[in-house]
Chain A
Amino acid sequence: GENVEQHPSTLSVQEGDSAVIKCTYSDSASNYFPWYKQELGKGPQLIIDIRSNVGEKKDQRIAVTLNKTAKHFSLHITETQPEDSAVYFCAAAVMEYGNKLVFGAGTILRVKS
C-alpha cells in the first residue's frame, strides 16, 4: 500500500521568511496530493492540492510542487505570518479509487514574530 513520509517534523521560521515542507510517496499510482492545515482543537483544513498532470500550483502565498519521477511533492509558504503557525499534513490518494487519503505524520510550523 501507499506510504507517505513527511519532513521536517518541526519547523521554526521568523515572520516574513519562507517555509518549505517536503513529502515523498511510494505508490506510483497516486495522482492526487492535497495539503491540510490543522489548528489546535480543529479538524484538518484543505489549503491547496495538486493533481499528477500538473507540476506546480500557486494560491497567493502558498505553492505546491510535484515531481512524479522522484515521487515527491513540497509545500512552500512565502512571507510567513504568525497565523500560519499550525500542523501541516501532506497526503496522497488515487482519485479514481475514491479519495481515500494516506497522510504523512505532520509538520509543526512555528512562525516567530
Chain B
Amino acid sequence: ETGVTQSPTHLIKTRGQQVTLRCSSQSGHNTVSWYQQALGQGPQFIFQYYREEENGRGNFPPRFSGLQFPNYSSELNVNALELDDSALYLCASSLSVMNTEAFFGQGTRLTVV
C-alpha cells in the first residue's frame, strides 16, 4: 500500500459531460502528478502540482485541468468528455518536487460512452 488514495474507483460518463477525479497524497507528500493510462499502454504524464501551483504539463488539451489544495490533495477535471478519454487515470505523489520517488494510487477507471 502506497498511502495514495483515489476516488471514485470506477466512473461511467456520457460524451460531452464533465468529470472530477480526486486524489489524496501520501502523508507528508507535497507533490502530486496525474497520468492517463489507455488500455494496453504505459501511463502518460498529464500535469504536476507542487504547493498548489501547476509545475509542468504534458501534451494534453486545456479541457484537462487540475487543482491542488492546502492539504496537498488534488483534483483532475476533464471537460467536454470524448470517447478517447476512456482510460485509467492515475495519481502519483512524491515527497517533494524533485529528487524523490513517485508512488501511485490504484487509479480511477473512466469509461466515456
Contact = CB atoms under 8 A, between A and B. Distances in A.
Q: Is the pairing of A and B real? A: yes
Nearest to B105: A43
Contacts of B45: 100-102
Contacts of B31: 98-99
B101 to A, nearest CB: 6
A46 B98 contact: no
Given A43-B90, A43-B107, A101 B43 contact: yes
Interface in A84-98: 89, 91, 95-98
B106 A100 contact: no
Interface stretch (B13-21, B48-56, B62-70, B73-81): B48-56
Contacts of B44: 103
Contacts of A105: 41-42
A73 interface: no
Nearest to A41: B106
Contacts of B41: 105-106
How many residues of B sit at the interface, in one of the four size bands? 20 to 34
A79 to B, nearest CB: 25
A42 interface: yes
Contact of B98 (A44, A91, A95, A104): A95
A95 B56 CA distance: 13
A44 B100 CA distance: 16
Contact of A104 (B42, B48, B107): B42
B46 to A, nearest CB: 10
A95 B99 contact: yes
A99 B106 contact: no
30 contacts: A34-B102, A36-B104, A42-B107, A43-B90, A43-B106, A45-B2, A46-B102, A91-B42, A95-B99, A96-B99, A98-B31, A98-B55, A99-B33, A99-B94, A99-B98, A99-B99, A99-B101, A99-B102, A100-B33, A100-B45, A100-B56, A101-B35, A101-B43, A101-B45, A101-B102, A102-B45, A103-B42, A105-B42, A106-B40, A106-B42
